[in-house]
Structure 1
Amino acid sequence: MTTMTETSARFREFKMPDVGEGLTEAEILKWFVQPGDTVTDGQVVCEVETAKAAVELPIPFDGVVHELRFPEGTTVDVGQVIIAIDVAPGSGDAPAPAAEPAQEPVEAASQGDGDAPKGRTPVLVGYGVAESSTKRRPRKGATAAPEAAAVAAAVQAELNGHAAPAAAPAPAPASAPAVPAQGGAPDGGRPLAKPPVRKLAKDLGIDLATVVPTGKDGIITREDVHAAAAPAATTPVAAPAPSQAAPSQAASEAPAAAVASGSARETRIPVKGVRKAIAQAMVGSAFTAPHVTEFVTVDVTRTMKLVAELKEDKDMAGVRVNPLLIIAKALLVAIKRNPEVNAAWDEANQEIVQKHYVNLGIAAATPRGLIVPNIKDAHDKTLPQLAAALGELVTTARDGKTSPAAMAGGTVTITNVGVFGVDTGTPILNPGESAILAVGAIKLQPWVHKGKVKPRQVTTLALSFDHRLVDGELGSKVLADVAAILEQPKRLITWA
């Protein structure tokens, strides 16, 4: 999982690793260290969010933090260096490791027709990256671009967590203004802005080329972007002075921003990370697998009595017992009685792949979005083991510590929409799975029991399945078996 490079005997670099499932990028959520901090082998230095989960990254060697290459809130490709460590502090001055061209936070406008540098290309973790054999040629022009120099100084200062030093003014032609009057692109090139500002503009849908910069040497500030997003005023108002906040402060500001016409009536929230992955997966599933959903309403009074009894059972001490536990066990028994439902569709080979194991997914709502971790080999677990696995799954998801591996390889899923007070729904299949069971709210309702109308605990179940794999008869049998077990939970013994 870890990957590093050695730039000298003194400095070592740690790259963004592939944290699993072939993910190509991750967002740095939080740094736990700052330049000058001492770190030890195995110490967690940052938390990153992939398209599937939040993951803590440990450093694989001892030393002192020399440089954080990216601020919080930055999305970094796998293979890019994120932190440099001085592994021999106190050994005298040594040249710092140079940042990779691909990591240059701000790009200035092109100055002439010199060849573009060939940056390093991220490759598989553990194999490092290939250095380009072609070196960057000096850009043409008698003077180095003052804007580029100022931006580089500002960015370096931002990465180091302090204000940028004032750059020495460079001579400019009398006919050329120091700051563009319209937009932030000097001489028609790329506008000058720091990474958090570029991200903010992207989130708000603002073209930086249309933003009037007010920062030093024509750099666009956050205030400039917010001003461009605000309703147009009859008289232009100068933006405030650029903020001197540290990178962690700038990157941690909420990405959502109000975009209004006269008053705040809309909020734009960038879709990324887990939410983006789930959205893409659900669209792919809905328009790839032909969904069929069946419903059944069932009296679960006896199941609720069993739950109450199990809570007092000494064999269940220390584990959480709730209706979901019995429902999960009922679904596992139903799959055992109807194993053909536990399958997957192999589009490439045009085959149905029947699974002889059940990785039971449990849909969990978290602050980062809906995730579906699964209990590996749930079919082999006893009731106490299943209860313990469910408790651990829920706790890990709530704390945002679910790993990508925990969400891979699911076969069927349960989604408990009843916790929100709704009767049921038509759930969409988790990609690659054959079925998903939605459980509605358990309510006291009038029910005909032994020839009389009595108040009973009742719920509605909904089973969605892939009609390429599961026909109506098979789907109906599975749903009917789950309902029968919940109505008469002693069938957990007679049918198991």
Structure 2
Amino acid sequence: MTTMTQASVREFKMPDVGEGLTEAEILKWYVKPGDTVTDGQVVCEVETAKAAVELPIPYDGVVRDLHFPEGTTVDVGTSIIAVDVSGGTAATGTAAAAEAPAEVPAAPTAAAPAEEKKSVGSGRQPVLVGYGVATSSTKRRPRKGPEVAVAQASTALRTELNGHAPVAADTPRPLAKPPVRKLAKDLGVDLTTVTPSGPDGVITREDVHAAVAPPAPEPVTAPAVSVPPAPVSAYDAARETRIPIKGVRKATAQAMIGSAFTAPHVTEFVTVDVTRTMKLVEELKQDKEFAGLRVNPLLLIAKALLAAIRRNPDINASWDETAQEIVLKHYVNLGIAAATPRGLIVPNIKDAHAKTLPQLAESLGELVSTAREGKTSPAAMQAGTVTITNVGVFGVDTGTPILNPGESAILAVGSIKLQPWVHKGKVKPRQVTTLALSFDHRLVDGELGSKVLADVAAILEQPKRLITWA
């Protein structure tokens, strides 16, 4: 029996499964110590602030240890599982990349361009998100003979002329992602002078900004005051249940607070007769082009909103506070608010403006079923432009929805009820609903918001306008 060495153990770290995420909760382990795993096998499910994601292991071996139990929230970059790969199975390129932060590449030399060209197309394995790129194992042969003397003489001459010793050629290059390097270059910050705070010594955007920020004034030390400890509130477990705020619910709460107190909200309402829309829904259910597709009032409401945006494109925008610019979007990623067991999420249909009605129905069906299964990916919830929230499914008339962060408008749809309505000069029972449109008043004034809401109402009252306004 062979003795397991430290070199034969690979530590799999919690990756960044969504841009900017810093932590994730381990929901479920699919393996236990002693189990054999293969490259690409899913070993656990984690929940980030955006969605539940399954994590595959990047190498073959035998599970040695699970570092955290289910229900634990772990920082990105922290090792969560150890795997013994000594059983004749070498670690793959991906596994080596997982430990890449521990190895710092040398500073560029005259031979660097040739080595870079050689590495292109060399078949190197891709790396996990959040772990960086594996460093090259190529080593230059040491210089011999006269070359050493020439180099030493050159170094002495530069020292005499400049008054200081040059920077050593093998000074470790600071670890930072390309966007951070560009930010440092734009701000004139030397990364070698920045103190890193990221995992494995990686320099973050905050570190660069801190390097150019003026030093904080020295705090004035107040005299020590004896403060009695705060009383601990009584908690009756038989009468109360306390639920930790984490995952999707925590992220949603933070996003709503940020949106409500950053963007000045305005909400407008309109009550509309949707009898003809309901008749069209029933007709489409019988149309063979929609066979097997989900056809409901939300489909036509979504199409009506897309048509209203096409007629009033300025509402499809966002506010860039940093650049002090209004960003007009020439595409519509239509968000659909969905209530799930993990909380409210808003996945979006990418390029919804370019889809036909059957294509839109198919995308809506996939979005809803994926959300209910808890399998919505982080990418599906990014880059939304406008959103629809259907509160009518809960039997309420309407509400004042809060904007999804980064978007300019959100349409709330109330329940559709049979109500007395004046139709062709007579009071008749008609299918009626109330729409509410909230918008960012920095981007959208009352005229534009009113036009969009009025257009949506007009289409739902007379669906044939979808044809005449196309």
Q: Distance in 2 between matches of 1:321 and 1:88?
A: 55
Question: Structure 2 regions of 5+ residues with no counterpart?
Answer: 90-98, 100-128, 136-228
**8 Å contact from structure 1 (residues 39, 62) kept in 2:** yes
Match of 2:15 in 1: 17
Match of 1:255 in 2: none
Q: Distance in 2 between matches of 1:293 and 1:22?
A: 31
- What's the CA shift string for 1:38-63, capped at 9, x where partnerless? 21221111000111111110112222
1:365 paired to 2:371: no
1:420 positional shift: 0.2
1:249-398 paired onto structure 2 within 5 Å:
259-260=235-236, 264-398=238-372
Comparing 466-475 with 61-70, greater Cα deviation is found at 61-70
1:82 paired to 2:80: yes
Match of 1:126 in 2: 132
Match of 2:64 in 1: 66
Counterpart of 1:430 (choices 388, 396, 404) is 404
Change (3 A) 1:90 1:388: same
Q: Distance in 2 between matches of 1:54 and 1:70?
A: 17
Equivalent residue letter for 2:40:
G
Q: SS at 2:332's partner residue?
A: coil
Equivalent residue letter for 1:394:
V
Task: Give percent identity, aligned residues only.
Answer: 84
Q: SS at 1:66's partner residue?
A: strand
Q: Distance in 1 between matches of 2:311 and 2:131?
A: 43
Q: Distance in 2 between matches of 1:316 and 1:451?
A: 36
Q: Distance in 1 between matches of 2:455 and 2:324?
A: 30
1:264 positional shift: 3.1
1:443 positional shift: 0.4
Comparing 37-46 with 381-390, greater Cα deviation is found at 37-46
Q: Distance in 2 between matches of 1:300 and 1:42?
A: 51
Q: Distance in 2 between matches of 1:479 and 1:8?
A: 65
Q: SS at 1:426's partner residue?
A: coil
1:20 positional shift: 1.1
Match of 2:192 in 1: none
1:36 paired to 2:34: yes
Q: Distance in 1 between matches of 2:233 and 2:460?
A: 56
Q: Distance in 2 between matches of 1:442 and 1:367?
A: 25
Match of 2:419 in 1: 445
Change (3 A) 1:350 1:230: closer
1:481 paired to 2:425: no
Q: Distance in 1 between matches of 2:325 and 2:132?
A: 34
1:350 positional shift: 1.1
Equivalent residue letter for 1:450:
K
1:36 positional shift: 1.1
Q: Distance in 2 between matches of 1:414 and 1:396?
A: 17
Equivalent residue letter for 1:73:
G
Equivalent residue letter for 2:57:
I
Q: Distance in 1 between matches of 2:256 and 2:466?
A: 33
Q: SS at 1:267's partner residue?
A: coil
Q: SS at 1:56's partner residue?
A: strand
1:210-221 paired onto structure 2 within 5 Å:
none
Q: Distance in 2 between matches of 1:472 and 1:266?
A: 45
Q: Distance in 2 between matches of 1:74 and 1:265?
A: 26
- What's the CA shift string for 1:174-233, capped at 9, x where partnerless? xxxxxxxxxxxxxxxxxxxxxxxxxxxxxxxxxxxx9xxxxxxxxxxxxxxxxxx996xx
Alignment: residue pair count: 335
Q: SS at 1:70's partner residue?
A: coil
Q: SS at 2:379's partner residue?
A: helix
Q: SS at 1:282's partner residue?
A: helix
Match of 2:466 in 1: 492
Q: SS at 2:298's partner residue?
A: helix
1:164-179 paired onto structure 2 within 5 Å:
none
- What's the CA shift string for 1:384-419, capped at 9, x where partnerless? 111111111111111111111110100000000000
**8 Å contact from structure 1 (residues 345, 353) kept in 2:** yes
1:9 positional shift: 5.0
Q: Distance in 2 between matches of 1:15 and 1:128?
A: 15
**8 Å contact from structure 1 (residues 79, 128) kept in 2:** no
**8 Å contact from structure 1 (residues 359, 377) kept in 2:** yes
1:488 positional shift: 0.5
Q: SS at 1:492's partner residue?
A: helix
Q: Distance in 2 between matches of 1:440 and 1:124?
A: 42
1:11 positional shift: 2.1
Q: SS at 1:294's partner residue?
A: strand
1:89 positional shift: 3.1
- What's the CA shift string for 1:49-103, capped at 9, x where partnerless? 1111111101122222111111111111111111111223389xxxxxxxx9xxx
Q: Distance in 1 between matches of 2:134 and 2:79?
A: 10
**8 Å contact from structure 1 (residues 29, 48) kept in 2:** yes
- What's the CA shift string for 1:340-383, capped at 9, x where partnerless? 00000011111110000000000000111100000000000111
Equivalent residue letter for 1:79:
G
Q: SS at 2:307's partner residue?
A: helix
Measured on the aligned residues, the alpha-carbon RMSD in Å equals 2.3
**8 Å contact from structure 1 (residues 63, 86) kept in 2:** yes
Counterpart of 1:47 (choices 24, 37, 45) is 45
Q: Distance in 2 between matches of 1:299 and 1:289?
A: 31
1:29 positional shift: 0.6
Q: SS at 1:268's partner residue?
A: coil
Q: Distance in 1 between matches of 2:466 and 2:38?
A: 51
Equivalent residue letter for 2:348:
N
Equivalent residue letter for 1:303:
T
- What's the CA shift string for 1:407-439, capped at 9, x where partnerless? 010000000000000000000000000000000
